[in-house]
Structure 1
């Protein structure tokens, strides 16, 4: 249980409040549907429930946005979107399904994955109907981690990697929301405005602490701790929280201190505020990358990674669900992002482990590279370049028109203390590698680049290059390199009914009145992330939960099975 002197920035979660009947409790607010967490998933759930005629209240610990507003605003969509057609791209739901079946590895059923693909065009149109703009301009040069301004449709995953392609031609499915800078804020701004226009009622600076259950075990509301609106505490809270999000990329330690101050304000000034949700509650608070205890328990190897997300990604939705007896899955799954493109020529180098052995195809998507780097290589690896390739990469970083967050780390990696050797043997000695291992890795790479052999990891011919011009360089792409951060976000969450988003208990039965969406729930990206898949799943799972909860009658949501109150709540700190 969180105490007043704790330094954690996470919300405390309490055991559920159980009442025999909703009329026996004094409520501060009434609604049909309560959505907890106002990011993209929460906004989509709220809009869908509101469109069904429900009175919707959306609560957020801060002022909305969460990780969605800090994202690149990329929505993974295919099957023949307007943008794909305008760009002359041929795609189909079947081609999208075939590709994603490889990437998702059965984390959801084929039926659910096929429904996600079949609804993809309609979901993007739905976003556009709420004001979010999308374009068809594609960046030159093929693969990139994030396209420059002016380009809005791109290959955001492994579609161009031979080992990930199927019989159908690859298609770009990364739809970046049109706007200056990263598009997440633009996308969320439109969703937030659409919620307000539709009559969704916001309850801000109100952190959910516990669920309220009736005598049958049905979730009928929640107790939130709300800062007094307009108070000095609320103003300071908003200012510090915004500063923490703004400077996270440049000063994460300082931002952790800000988050502790934010939590302290909540503990000292927030007051309980009980909301009765007649049709139930949707949990959509994001993942748990900022929860040190949960990370230590489920994914200890990723605690050194740079945190990708927002302060609200503290597992509060997960812990709320668990407090009511919910089952969870995939909590050990973390997406680690080691992008080595751009510069566009970097994948022509080779990535080796601490011994000098190559272990991956360098042209794969950043999370596909980051997974074996973290899971199999202990977070340590080198990007090996020769003099010719390094010079080309520096020129591309300086004059390639990339984003500053792509250019600055790339230049720092190549210019600040790389290991160097006139020969492969000298480089191996300088980097602490095994001499013969590195020499063999380079020899086999060069043979494949000359067409004398197949590449050991299936690298396409266009990404192969002979590396034989000394001096040779080893750039440290390990998790501990401060000049080249290796970001991570959590992928697991509450188990849900894939037809409705209803949260499931350990026996696989739906917990009446409780739903989950986005990264609070297991979903499409919960095996391995590719750019745009999480936001696309926020739309898919958010709309699913919103429609299901609003479509129920009072008699339908009244059924439930009594559950024993859990003795402990995992991750409560």
Structure 2
């Protein structure tokens, strides 16, 4: 095994979590190595829709959106069925403003603010995620950070009880990266880790595999081997809303049901309240024939399409032939392969419920999480988008404390080991709010960068007093985006 020089911080994984931690730490004066398993940067983040969840932003104020940290917390707890680790949620909320401003200072532009899964206020802030990642990486290297592609982390190294480095499998063999301030696992979930899915969520193997090609659970396994605790493993679920032929070219996920569509199976029957979070929808649709649900809507919903904005871009989906269109409900059903008579009757019952003439058959009363008035499906032309559950990420993993330090099964800190982003559990609980995945990656990336910088500063003070040989400390701790 060859040995590299030692860094202050070694970050494993280059999605939004790893990139934020690496950039913030480098800008604070730490020497940082960023290891990426594949030949490309970005991981699952680069394949995402680019939604960040923040409250109290200027964009919200400009649009007259009423939101607060208290409402944000309540929504996250409700979405997670109060099974979230509240301390992690409070850390997110305490640091969201500084993280938002740090992103803006790095040139991030939020082009849309919208409501989506798990929200009761419009707090999903959309950005061109590939541009965000590229900009942060540019700033990382400008600050002296080192990038190492095709470096797969395979095992953690300890000196006593402290993690002091990580071994990476590279094209030139195994290489040891030493880490004075710690190793940060930002390796994502295990959406492509068939072995782990078989253990924790075998039913989800029926979903469309997605997410970064490196998302096989490497970081989780390495931390697990050291005794790390696990959280939310029983809540693994794919996300509903992707065409059966979804590719990796762009983020194809349509949530027309939050805009006024209903969801039916091939038999033309509704089977779920369409206003619930799309992780729950993803779990339920797997029980339907072929794991398929059709989003059925009319011209009113079609008019809400916003080209280029993930979750709302019906224009592009229709252009690539993934949306059926017809002048009548019966013709739409025939084109899409849905039972025509059943769909006509289902739409009629739905419209009667919207008009207040009957109870809704699945108990739906709003568009999304208690917000938005239902719309009748009565304006031609009519549309149907066939969609399945997409295993984008697993939203579970190793346990951490509010500083991003990994804790073991007894709740004790594993010194020198951090974890952020989708390799961690405890934050989401039973379900997921749109934007909190990228959001927590950025927020906890900053938290970890500051914590590691602070620990190295403390080491320097000890060195100054004792004269012992200790690692050099950062010279700009205040540059890290954490309150």
TM-score category (smaller protein):
0.7 to 0.9
- Compared with structure 1, are the counterparts of its residues 432 and 324 closer, same or farther at alpha carbon in structure 2 (3 Å cutoff)? same
CA distance in 2, matches of 1:73, 1:422: 36
* 3-state SS, counterpart of residue 392 of structure 2: strand
2:282 to 358, 366, 370: 370
CA distance in 1, matches of 2:377, 2:315: 24
2:294 to 363, 383, 400: 383
* 3-state SS, counterpart of residue 213 of structure 1: strand
CA distance in 2, matches of 1:152, 1:394: 18
- Compared with structure 1, are the counterparts of its residues 98 and 366 closer, same or farther at alpha carbon in structure 2 (3 Å cutoff)? same
- Compared with structure 1, are the counterparts of its residues 285 and 451 closer, same or farther at alpha carbon in structure 2 (3 Å cutoff)? same
Alignment match, 1:186: 131
- Compared with structure 1, are the counterparts of its residues 92 and 550 closer, same or farther at alpha carbon in structure 2 (3 Å cutoff)? same
Q: How does 1:349-498 map to 2 (within 5 A)?
A: 349-353=261-265, 357-364=269-276, 366-374=278-286, 377=288, 380-383=291-294, 392=299, 396=303, 401=307, 406-407=314-315, 409-410=317-318, 412=321, 414-415=323-324, 431=338, 441-442=346-347, 444-455=349-360, 456-459=363-366, 462-465=373-376, 476-478=386-388, 486=390, 488-497=392-401
Alignment match, 1:202: 147
Preserved CA contact (<8 Å) 1:208 1:224? yes
Alignment match, 1:13: none
CA distance in 2, matches of 1:30, 1:349: 55
Quote the offset at 1:134 in angstroms: 2.2
Q: How does 1:249-328 map to 2 (within 5 A)?
A: 270-328=172-230
Preserved CA contact (<8 Å) 1:422 1:472? no
The structure whose Rg is larger is: 1
CA distance in 2, matches of 1:472, 1:81: 37
Alignment match, 2:248: none
* 2:476 is equivalent to residue 500 of structure 1: no
CA distance in 2, matches of 1:343, 1:223: 42
- Compared with structure 1, are the counterparts of its residues 478 and 202 closer, same or farther at alpha carbon in structure 2 (3 Å cutoff)? closer
Preserved CA contact (<8 Å) 2:43 2:211? yes
* 3-state SS, counterpart of residue 224 of structure 1: strand
Alignment match, 2:91: 115
CA distance in 2, matches of 1:423, 1:40: 41
Listed as ranges, the gaps of 5+ residues in structure 2 are 244-252, 463-483
Quote the offset at 1:541 in angstroms: 1.6
CA distance in 2, matches of 1:316, 1:505: 17
Alignment match, 2:36: 60
Quote the offset at 1:273 in angstroms: 1.0
Preserved CA contact (<8 Å) 1:218 1:513? yes
Task: State the Cα deviation string for residues 263-317 of structure 1 (Å, max 9, x = none).
Answer: xxxxxxx311112212321111111112222222222222243333211212111
Preserved CA contact (<8 Å) 1:49 1:547? yes
Alignment match, 1:561: none
Alignment match, 2:123: 173
Alignment match, 1:94: 70
CA distance in 1, matches of 2:10, 2:63: 41
Preserved CA contact (<8 Å) 1:210 1:224? yes
Alignment match, 1:244: none
* 2:183 is equivalent to residue 223 of structure 1: no
Preserved CA contact (<8 Å) 1:104 1:526? yes
CA distance in 1, matches of 2:349, 2:388: 23
CA distance in 2, matches of 1:487, 1:28: 36
* 3-state SS, counterpart of residue 89 of structure 2: helix
Alignment match, 2:427: 524
CA distance in 2, matches of 1:197, 1:508: 38
CA distance in 1, matches of 2:435, 2:385: 28
Alignment match, 2:17: 41
Count of residues paired in the alignment: 439
